[in-house]
Chains A and B, each alone.
Chain A
């Protein structure tokens, strides 16, 4: 039975939790199709990441290091992963459906002439045939697809699989030799959005604002509410397009897909594309003054109100509760 490889995500040595749901998906596949789950860490001085991954319940961690991998580039990652897959004969490769996995996995598909199922949300067997579920049409349809060829490639929607728990024993870390040429690509810079808040895709609570927030300075109120929950802040496309919020705050079909315990939507009408990014949240609260807003159809608690009155009131009520 061919084994399974998870490509771990990290940013210059900082482990990303997207890897955990990916390990869970890979194990679900192993449960159906057989095989053992290994992980691959590519980087320069990425030993600490390898150690972290080794404690997440994989059989072993392959560590491929070199200066060429100091900064992530699709042109170096895809051939390096392809090399490891071919040498070790892996039958399936999993990576997170983050901007990391979405960038290099299709390139790997092209290099190996191997099928890739994007953004998968479920795996099952029909007799001896693997069935893969993935969203299409902004999540308004769940497709069941069949793949043929080898290896099978998957990117995993993080919200659809639980994070892999810490394992009792630490898996061995094995160095593998990888080489890559930057092939006409060079990293220049990264402009990070620095924040003390949890990442949108990791947050337990998200407070999100849309067109109804009207101006950038009104995000102060959003922040104040978010502070009470140690929440991440999100935005609809309208708010980002207006320049009130940075691009990487956008929740939706083409932005971030989130599923927190609590999602508070302020002044968001609820376009199909926004709902696609948040409707799997456990509890949804919507505050909007338009009672016809589609967001109310998915909200567990809808409040038709002027958010500039309701939000300060909510902040003071919650503060009262907390101090009680």
Chain B
């Protein structure tokens, strides 16, 4: 199976976000960039499918050249080659999906895998938009992906608000990955060495003939309302008394 995995570099989600004083964005000084955790799960899934069925895993990212580093990480995990669509920062989801659609048209994969959302913008849009642009079926929030032999379909368990829903989608299709699909592997040292020699094609965004003018534009960032938390109680008796008399929730 030929699989295209889309990934996005994001600031390390375990570090606290610092908003620039002018609200123009977040302060990325000394913040490590990593593969978006959901995209990492997508890479892992692609590798597992390839290990079972054979085929090829190509990695795709759309954004500034610096993303090369996270793409190399995906190659070190075991992906075969990579495509970096070099574009400005600040693209909206529609623009990203349009660039991806162009690459999909060239590459003709059987399956596009990507994370359900990037943990920086928290949009949860690109996979679904891409599926619409390609007129492909979609299976979002995947917690299980299976292929029934010879029938050209994927059977996908989806994490929904009311439990796990299973749908069948005909290939080619777009699958977006949820948290519990798998545990991504670490890149091995030989993997890292090999990754240096793997093909990385850089495609200038302008060469793809896409109207990428943003329809959703970020104007500013502000911190959320702070909670006045931090009060402690000495014991259960005080806690229950406070809940009854002060918070009045009992």
Residues of A at the B interface (CB closer than 8 Å) are 11, 73-75, 78, 98-100, 102-111, 113-119, 131, 134-149, 183-193, 199, 201, 205, 237, 240-241, 246-248, 253-254, 256, 261-262, 271-273, 279, 283-285, 296-305, 310, 313-314, 317-318, 321
Contact = CB atoms under 8 A, between A and B. Distances in A.
Given A110-B133, A302-B231, A321-B244, A102 B124 contact: yes
B180 A241 contact: yes
Most B-side CB within 10 Å, residue of A73, A100, A139, A254? A254
Contacts of A299: 229-231
B17 interface: yes
Contacts of B141: 99, 103
Q: Is the interface of B mostly helix, strand, loop or mixed?
A: mixed
Contacts of A98: 161
Closest 7 pairs between A and B when the two form their complex, measured CB to CB = A110-B132, A184-B170, A106-B128, A115-B215, A110-B129, A106-B125, A188-B166
B104 interface: no
Given A272-B16, A301-B247, A305-B236, A247 B164 contact: yes
A314 B239 contact: yes
B165 interface: yes
A127 to B, nearest CB: 13
Contacts, number: 258
Interface string B205-242: 00000000001111111111001011111011101101
Interface of B: 11, 13-14, 16-17, 19, 26, 38, 92-94, 97, 116-117, 119-133, 135-141, 143, 155, 158-170, 173, 178-180, 215-224, 227, 229-233, 235-237, 239-240, 242-244, 247, 249-250
A121 to B, nearest CB: 9
Contact of A314 (B133, B143, B222, B240): B240
B94 A144 contact: no
Contacts of A103: 128, 138, 140-141
A19 B113 CA distance: 30
A240 to B, nearest CB: 8
Q: Is the interface of A mostly helix, strand, loop or mixed?
A: mixed
Given A118-B123, A187-B166, 9 more contacts: A106-B124, A107-B128, A110-B133, A148-B217, A190-B160, A190-B164, A248-B161, A248-B163, A321-B250
Given A115-B94, A187-B165, A247-B143, A143 B218 contact: yes
12 contacts: A100-B160, A100-B161, A110-B131, A118-B122, A138-B122, A143-B221, A185-B170, A190-B164, A190-B165, A205-B249, A283-B247, A284-B229
Contacts of B239: 285, 301, 303, 314
